[in-house]
């Protein structure tokens, strides 16, 4: 039923309840006042209460019928039974005499309806988090057709189309930039807070915002295939899949229903025997059933799941398997694949050693020469020069010496870059200290090249797969959380040792071929450790599957990684820490919610049954309904607080 219908039912029932309350004999007796009399005024309460019962209460009666049909008696059954008992009893007083019950029936229905409305609103809030994701996708696109720009609905786009994305507009589909460059804001999609610079040939994600320049994008994926839709699908699947705690909540709800009916029935019998007052006995039974409603229980887990999955999705943390999310906080060891995960996965300059020349000058001469080479070493050095903001000049007489290096003239000086053999050919002597330094660096897993200027060796440059700056923090935090951090790599022992030392990781496996990684994970598990494996979803797939929790990292827009339980879109190892925290908070919230949804019953069920009547404490059904609704509100609110607790970092 639509939330607006519930609100209308709640509102109209509330209005009708006012005269019912005023013309209720039993209430008039208690308060000692008389409502204005008119012919037929004795019919006000019964007639209007019947209207409320059939108009407002029918919502619960229908729910009860479908619960019973599905053989899953629960909240709706309890409410349905409670209001039916109250209604039939009150009707019977019209014939047989006795005190009616109409005002309590109507207030009960009113409180229940409003409670339901609040609940639906909060559930809607959770699904709104999902809707916000949907809304990131624009509806119209500027299609370039025969050189003209035409506006078309996004649904008309096909792979291969070219679209124009102007500054301030959203990218309409996943694709590749074919013209222009810009910065794109992907914050809402991947959680990458800084706008990402993009140029020709770079991939763009549908839904990201073009910040400045106009770009032309060749569409690659549309509709269901796009990153955003894949994310939505994953989030929906995760929200629908059941978890251990959800199963528990369902079981508790069932038992609570049984308890409610048993205690309610017993309370009726006992009070009949003690007091012989039908009205009083019915009231107690009804209150018990209302208060014990496992209403909040139905929401306790799904709301937490809804918030945790949809908010994390927007930070680029995608949960495929919810059980794995609940498990990941308990892992003992986190195994990282080195290359591309802890390190950047590409060559970079890590050390520069100079002799009789400024570092920047050495890099400048080298880069000016290397700009003409295609070698990975050359590219890394040119990049380093750019990073340092150095002016690269034109080289003359450039020549590549295969397998040895490059030579040429830069700013009128003869420069040679490469192996010791090349240095020898150039007649440049390798001094003791430079050699010693180079050997040290090589034994630490670096690749070292020498640089000679005008026939003199001026130093050496060490290159390696550079450690990501974020890796230090990730490893440190995981260790602080008491996790064993293990590194696994196909690289040589020296390289592995160097990176492990740098990152303060004390366990590593080197020279592990891709298919052996799963075996290493299994061996850790045989030692009794629960293992999370972090790696890419392709080469490391078997290891991800073998691990207790498989985390695919840096998947970018390809989020259909079947092998992983959790997918990290960004290539930031700190997100592994975020996943652990998400796991901890999610489980904590679920447990808290289970408590708030059931714990109060320990006190309120006996109270409702009338245990405290000798001390003058009598709970009215409507008060019971308020208690029950309150627990629902607390549960919903507690789940909503997650958002702040999660991303306050
Ligand atoms: P290659 O077989 O092309 O990988 O080259 C073997 C070795 O020659 C490398 O390990 C470097 O020491 C050196 N070398 C080759 N090309 C270059 C270059 N463009 N710049 C510096 N050193 C190079």
Residue 172: which CATH number?
Answer: 2.70.150.10
Q: Mean per-residue pLDDT for 198-223? A: 92
Question: From the CA of 377, how far away is ligand 1's center (Å)?
Answer: 7
Question: From the CA of 139, how far away is ligand 1's center (Å)?
Answer: 51
Together in a domain, 378 and 492: no
Q: If DSSP codes are grouped into helix, strand and coil, which group holds residue 452?
A: strand
Task: With respect to residue 232, please indicate whether it lies within any of the assigned structural domains.
Answer: no
Task: With respect to residue 401, please indicate whether it lies within any of the assigned structural domains.
Answer: yes
Q: Specify the pTM.
A: 0.76
Together in a domain, 156 and 221: yes
Note whether 83 and 60 are within 8 A (CB): yes
pLDDT at 462 (0 to 100): 95
Look at residues 522, 557, 578 and tell me which one is the last residue of a structural domain.
Answer: 578
Nearest atom (ligand 1) to Cα of 447: 10
Question: Does an H or E element contain 494, and which?
Answer: helix 493-503
Q: What is d(CA 238, CA 249) in angstroms, rounded to the nearest whole number?
A: 17
Domain hosting 564: range is 317-343+468-578
- Residue 417 Cβ inside 6 Å of ligand 1? The answer reads yes
Note whether 62 and 74 are within 8 A (CB): no
| Residue of 352, 404, 421, 422 to mutate, ligand 1, most atoms within 8 A of C-beta | 404
Q: If DSSP codes are grouped into helix, strand and coil, which group holds residue 467?
A: strand
Ligand 1: which residue has its CA nearest to atom 16? 405
Task: With respect to residue 312, please indicate whether it lies within any of the assigned structural domains.
Answer: no
Does position 142 have pLDDT exceeding 90, yes or no?
yes
pLDDT at 120 (0 to 100): 77
pLDDT single digits (tens) 115-132:
778 777 767 766 666 677
Q: Mean per-residue pLDDT for 560-568? A: 86
Does position 419 have pLDDT exceeding 80, yes or no?
yes
Q: What angle (nearest 5°) sits at the alpha carbon of residue 636, between those of residues 635 and 637?
A: 95
Nearest atom (ligand 1) to Cα of 404: 8
Q: If DSSP codes are grouped into helix, strand and coil, which group holds residue 399?
A: strand
Alpha carbon 23 to chain centroid distance? 53
Task: With respect to residue 311, please indicate whether it lies within any of the assigned structural domains.
Answer: no
Task: With respect to residue 572, please indicate whether it lies within any of the assigned structural domains.
Answer: yes
pLDDT at 48 (0 to 100): 94
- Residue 419 Cβ inside 6 Å of ligand 1? The answer reads yes
Question: From the CA of 501, how far away is ligand 1's center (Å)?
Answer: 27
Task: With respect to residue 300, please indicate whether it lies within any of the assigned structural domains.
Answer: yes
pLDDT at 434 (0 to 100): 94
Together in a domain, 149 and 81: no
pLDDT single digits (tens) 35-60:
788 888 888 889 999 999 999 999 99
Does position 78 have pLDDT exceeding 90, yes or no?
no
Q: What is d(CA 445, CA 610) in angstroms, rounded to the nearest whole number?
A: 78
* pLDDT higher at 99 or 638: 638
Together in a domain, 50 and 185: no
Nearest atom (ligand 1) to Cα of 418: 22
pLDDT at 649 (0 to 100): 46
pLDDT at 126 (0 to 100): 63
- Residue 406 Cβ inside 6 Å of ligand 1? The answer reads yes
- Total domains in the fold of the chain: 4
* pLDDT higher at 387 or 600: 387
Name which of 390, 381, 410, 380 is nearest 398 in CA terms: 410
Note whether 555 and 454 are within 8 A (CB): no
Annotated catalytic sites, by residue?
337
pLDDT at 26 (0 to 100): 66
Q: What is d(CA 621, CA 279) in angstroms, rounded to the nearest whole number?
A: 12
Look at residues 578, 600, 629 and tell me which one is the last residue of a structural domain.
Answer: 578
Percent of the chain scored above 90 by pLDDT?
Answer: 49
Q: How confident is the model at residue 648 (pLDDT cuts 50, 70, 90)?
A: low
Does position 381 have pLDDT exceeding 70, yes or no?
yes
Together in a domain, 293 and 355: no
Q: How confident is the model at residue 144 (pLDDT cuts 50, 70, 90)?
A: very high
Together in a domain, 194 and 216: yes
- Residue 378 Cβ inside 6 Å of ligand 1? The answer reads yes
Together in a domain, 356 and 403: yes
Together in a domain, 245 and 361: no
Q: Mean per-residue pLDDT for 9-23? A: 92
Name which of 210, 205, 232, 208 is nearest 221 in CA terms: 205
183-187, 226-230, 581-585, 644-648: lowest mean pLDDT where? Answer: 644-648
Ligand 1: which residue has its CA nearest to atom 15? 405
Does position 74 have pLDDT exceeding 80, yes or no?
no
Together in a domain, 447 and 491: no
Task: With respect to residue 530, please indicate whether it lies within any of the assigned structural domains.
Answer: yes
Task: With respect to residue 438, please indicate whether it lies within any of the assigned structural domains.
Answer: yes
Question: From the CA of 448, how far away is ligand 1's center (Å)?
Answer: 10
Name which of 390, 377, 380 is nearest 418 in CA terms: 377
Q: What is d(CA 303, CA 322) in angstroms, rounded to the nearest whole number?
A: 14
Together in a domain, 594 and 496: no
Look at residues 578, 612, 634 and tell me which one is the last residue of a structural domain.
Answer: 578
Note whether 281 and 275 are within 8 A (CB): yes
Q: Mean per-residue pLDDT for 440-447? A: 86
- Residue 403 Cβ inside 6 Å of ligand 1? The answer reads yes
Looking at residue 449, which CATH number applies to its domain?
A: 3.40.1110.10
Question: From the CA of 571, how far away is ligand 1's center (Å)?
Answer: 29
Looking at residue 327, which CATH number applies to its domain?
A: 3.40.50.1000
Note whether 249 and 299 are within 8 A (CB): no
Report DSSP state, residue 154: G
Instruction: Pull the structure tokens for residue 120.
Output: 């639906």
Together in a domain, 482 and 563: yes
Does position 317 have pLDDT exceeding 80, yes or no?
yes
Together in a domain, 514 and 421: no
């Amino acid at each position: 039923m639509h939330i607006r219908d519930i609100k209308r039912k709640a509102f109209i029932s509330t209005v009708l309840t006012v005269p019912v309350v005023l013309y209720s004999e039993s209430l008039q007796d208690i308060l000692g006042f008389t409502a204005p009399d008119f012919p037929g005024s004795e019919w006000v309460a019964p007639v209007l209460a019947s209207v409320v019962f059939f108009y407002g209460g029918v919502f619960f009666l229908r729910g009860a019928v479908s619960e019973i049909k599905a053989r899953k008696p629960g909240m709706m059954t309890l409410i349905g039974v409670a209001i039916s008992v109250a209604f039939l009893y009150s009707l019977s007083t019209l014939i047989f005499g006795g005190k009616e019950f109409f005002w309590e029936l109507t207030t009960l229905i009113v409180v229940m309806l409003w409670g339901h409305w609040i609940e639906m609103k909060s559930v809607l809030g959770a699904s709104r988090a999902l809707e916000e994701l949907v809304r990131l996708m624009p509806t119209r696109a500027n299609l370039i057709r025969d050189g003209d720009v035409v506006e078309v609905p996004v649904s008309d786009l096909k792979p291969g189309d070219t679209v124009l994305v102007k500054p301030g507009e959203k990218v309409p589909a996943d694709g590749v930039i074919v013209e222009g460059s810009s910065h794109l804001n992907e914050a809402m999609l991947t959680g990458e807070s800084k706008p990402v610079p993009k140029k020709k040939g770079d991939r763009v994600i549908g839904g990201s915002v073009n910040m400045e320049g106009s770009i032309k994008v060749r569409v690659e994926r549309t509709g269901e295939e796009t990153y955003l839709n894949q994310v939505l699908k994953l989030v929906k699947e995760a929200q629908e899949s059941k978890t251990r705690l959800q199963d528990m909540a369902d079981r508790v709800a069932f038992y609570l229903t049984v308890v409610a009916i048993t205690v309610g029935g017993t309370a009726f019998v006992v009070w009949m025997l003690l007091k012989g007052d039908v009205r009083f006995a019915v009231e107690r039974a009804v209150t018990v059933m209302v208060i014990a409603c496992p209403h909040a229980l139905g929401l306790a887990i799904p709301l937490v799941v809804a918030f945790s999955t949809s908010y994390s999705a927007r930070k680029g943390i995608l949960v495929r398997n919810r059980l794995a999310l609940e498990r990941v906080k308990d892992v003992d060891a986190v195994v990282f694949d080195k290359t591309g995960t802890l390190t950047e996965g590409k060559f970079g300059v890590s050390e520069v050693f100079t002799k009789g020349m400024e570092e920047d000058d050495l890099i400048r001469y080298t880069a000016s020469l290397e700009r003409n080479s295609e070698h990975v070493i050359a590219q890394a050095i040119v990049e380093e020069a750019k990073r340092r903001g150095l002016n690269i000049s034109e080289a003359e007489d450039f020549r590549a010496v295969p397998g040895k290096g490059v030579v040429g003239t830069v700013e009128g000086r003869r420069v040679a870059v490469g192996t010791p053999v090349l240095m020898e050919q150039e007649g440049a002597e390798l001094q003791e200290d430079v050699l010693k330094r180079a050997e040290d660096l090589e034994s630490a897993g670096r690749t070292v090249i020498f640089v000679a200027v005008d026939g003199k060796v001026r130093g050496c440059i060490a290159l390696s797969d550079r450690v990501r700056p974020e890796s230090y923090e990730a490893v440190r935090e995981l260790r602080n959380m008491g996790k064993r951090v293990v590194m696994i790599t196909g690289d040589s022992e020296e390289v592995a040792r160097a990176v492990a030392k740098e990152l303060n990781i004390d366990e590593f496996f080197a020279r592990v071929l891709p298919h052996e990684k799963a075996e290493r994970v299994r061996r850790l598990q045989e030692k009794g450790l629960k293992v999370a494996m972090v790696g890419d979803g392709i080469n490391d797939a078997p290891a991800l599957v073998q691990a207790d929790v498989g985390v695919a990292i840096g998947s970018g827009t390809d989020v259909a990684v079947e092998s992983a339980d959790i997918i990290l879109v960004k290539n930031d190892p700190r997100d592994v820490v975020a996943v652990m925290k998400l796991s901890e908070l999610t489980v904590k919230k679920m447990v808290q919610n289970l408590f708030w949804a059931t714990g109060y019953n320990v006190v309120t069920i006996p109270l409702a049954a009338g245990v405290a009547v000798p001390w003058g404490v009598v709970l009215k059904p409507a008060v019971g309904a308020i208690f029950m609704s309150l627990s629902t509100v607390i549960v919903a609110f507690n789940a909503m607080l997650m958002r702040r607790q999660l991303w306050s970092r």
